[in-house]
Amino acid sequence: MVAITNCKECLSGRYENCKNPKNCPLGKEYNSKNSPIESKLVDTTGKKTFYLSKFCPWEEIDMSLEEFKEECESLDPFIGGLRITEFLAVNRQVIDKKKIAKEIKSWSDFKGYEFEIKDIEKIINAVWEDNDSFNAIKETAFKMGLEKKEILLERDQFIEVSEWIKGRYHIKRVELTGELLFFNDQYYDNDAEQLIRRTARKCISKSKNVDMNEVVNYIKDSCKIIKSDDIEKYVHLKCLLNGTFNIIKGTFEESFSPENIILNQIPHNFVKKGKHSTIEKRVKEIAPDDKDRQSYFDFGSTCLHPYTGIDIQLGEVGIPGTGKTQLITLLQYVLGSDNVTNATTHSIAKDETTQKDVAYSFLNIDEELRSDDVRNIETLKKWITQGRFTARSIYGHNTNFRPTSRLMFATNTIYEITNPEDALAMYERTHLIKLTQKFRHTKKEIKNVFENIKEKEFDSFISYLLKNATKIYKNKSIKYPQTTEQTESLWNEFGNQVRAFIDEWIEKDISFKEEASKIWEKFFNESSMRGVKPRGKNQFYDKFNEIIGNTSTKIREDDITFYGYPGIRLKTVDEKENQERIDQTPKGRVLKKLNHLDESDPIFKEIRKLIA
């Protein structure tokens, strides 16, 4: 039996600090050469010389294991064991300590060295404890993962298992949300933590829960970080079940690559030719207007390609039961439910957590736009144009991101925008489709219109949307862009109730005094006559005060005290009708436009004087 008396310093690679240079094999080797431990190995042809050293980069050795063992015969047994361990771990991709121990045991027994188990453990641990050696071992584990070679390691080898998993599944982490992603051989899925735990169970012998936690945490701290810029580079590539479509080039390839950072998969196949006549027929029944129907299709295509400058949100407006939900359902089916989020418009406008949650989907749908008062319009404007947002990253510092998701809503009544400039900005960024065909509780009603569509039609429809996205990208426009005036008209029809009421019925003058209750009653009656559910009294007063610019106060007149508005009054029916006739004249239409602009601007005051 060989007695190994290497000191701790030499085992740790600090040979110059050897405590026993006469008896320590590693120390004797170092002192005799006065240089880092180096073994000169000649291959069987005699043409190449290879060097292995803890102080030099690893080099590929073109030898079989048996040939390498023979070359180690002239070395100190301990050093020979180190070299065999290094050779197996790096050149033969054997990182299982048990397998290495068996090889060293058989080699030592054959040569008569008769290493004990603790001697072999010292040899293996000496290699694993050296920084350069262990870095090379980690690279080997990662490479084995890339090559999909199976492993089964000991509990103390969780780092090697982690590196193998990182290589096998190309693990990455999103800087904004902290999500762990893995490449599932088609695209980057976001259930990586579950996958890591399941895989680590198979790769670690006799594992425990604490081992799984160690693996997950190590991968979180060491895997590649994906930033917003990385995601932006690949948004034109769309992963389908049978390959990848390039929207910019308009080409399709039946292949997938881990180099493409694609975060979503469309759950359909791309087909070069196909029909989706049933889908078109049913959409036409809901939206019979050709322009509205094409705008709906074009919007679906814009959801597939962000950052193109074609920045619109889509709104479906109309009375209940007109099929608004069915058109939403169709986009969810064709884009994939995993790629569509359902946050409210109100929460996107004000909540940073919600913004992170919906940032990288294709589409966010607010199926029932209920909020009467959406604040943070500036945030919505920036989101629709897919501008840059600042948010807190997983490491505590601020980072920038650009959302990929488009916004869509369905509503019977649209929220009111009190600020004229904000209103104009939203009109310019919104495309409204008015649906008038009543289906619910009629003979024409079909439950779940798009539920029984054949899969081939969905393949054809998504293929059409993708090819249409290429066409939109090249033309830099959708086919029927809606004018600001058209959007404003529809918005005023289904929203801006208080503003429209003020424009029609309220007249301002310092001498007027009008009871607040009478104004509310008039608003309630007008809303009811139009078939629009009026907002609550307190909501009305809040919005009315904000638009008018003052609040009701206690007024005393002829011994009568009431809450009223000084400086305003309700018009009579005759005055209103006369005003409507004036508004139809060219001068009246211009004046009506100017009334929505800032009255304090001296330019607009001069324009009003000239027109008057």
Residues 317, 282: Cα–Cα separation, whole Å: 18
C-alpha distances (whole Å) from 35 to each of 30, 72, 363 are 6, 19, 64
Residues 367, 595: Cα–Cα separation, whole Å: 33
Q: Give the three-class secondary structure for 154.
A: coil
CATH entry 3.40.50.150 includes domain 494-611: no
The residue among 120, 44, 139, 137 whose CA lies nearest residue 82 is 120
The DSSP secondary-structure symbol of 87 reads I
Instruction: Please enumerate, as own/partner, the contacts of 477-481 that have beta carbons within 8 Å and a separation of 24 or more.
Output: 477/310, 478/295, 478/298, 478/299, 478/302, 478/310, 478/312, 479/294, 479/295, 479/298, 480/291, 480/294, 480/295, 480/298, 481/431
Domain boundaries, the chain: 8-143, 150-226, 277-491, 494-611
What per-residue confidence (pLDDT) applies to 348? Answer: 92
Query: In which element (H, E) is residue 314 found?
Result: strand 313-317
What per-residue confidence (pLDDT) applies to 42? Answer: 34
What per-residue confidence (pLDDT) applies to 71? Answer: 78
**This prediction's pTM:** 0.77
Residue 72 has which token pair?
């180690």
CA triple 359-185-137, angle to 5 deg: 105
Query: In which element (H, E) is residue 366 found?
Result: strand 363-366
Residues 594, 502: Cα–Cα separation, whole Å: 15
CATH entry 3.40.50.300 includes domain 277-491: yes
Q: Which amino acid is at 576?
A: K
Length reported for the chain: 612
The residue among 165, 159, 196, 167 whose CA lies nearest residue 179 is 196
What per-residue confidence (pLDDT) applies to 26? Answer: 66
Which pLDDT tens digit goes with each residue over 148-193? Answer: 999 999 999 999 999 999 999 999 999 998 999 999 999 999 989 9
Examine domains 277-491 and 494-611 and report if their fold is the same: no
Query: How many CA atoms within 13 Å lie on the side-chain side of 474?
Result: 10
What per-residue confidence (pLDDT) applies to 28? Answer: 66
Q: Which residues of the chain have pLDDT under 70?
A: 1-16, 19, 21-23, 25-62, 371-373, 441, 443-444, 579-612
Q: Which amino acid is at 66?
A: E
Residues 458, 269: Cα–Cα separation, whole Å: 8
Name residues whose C-beta falls within 8 Å of residue 232's C-beta, 6 or more positions apart in sequence. Answer: 307, 402
Residue 599 has which token pair?
């009255």
What per-residue confidence (pLDDT) applies to 45? Answer: 37
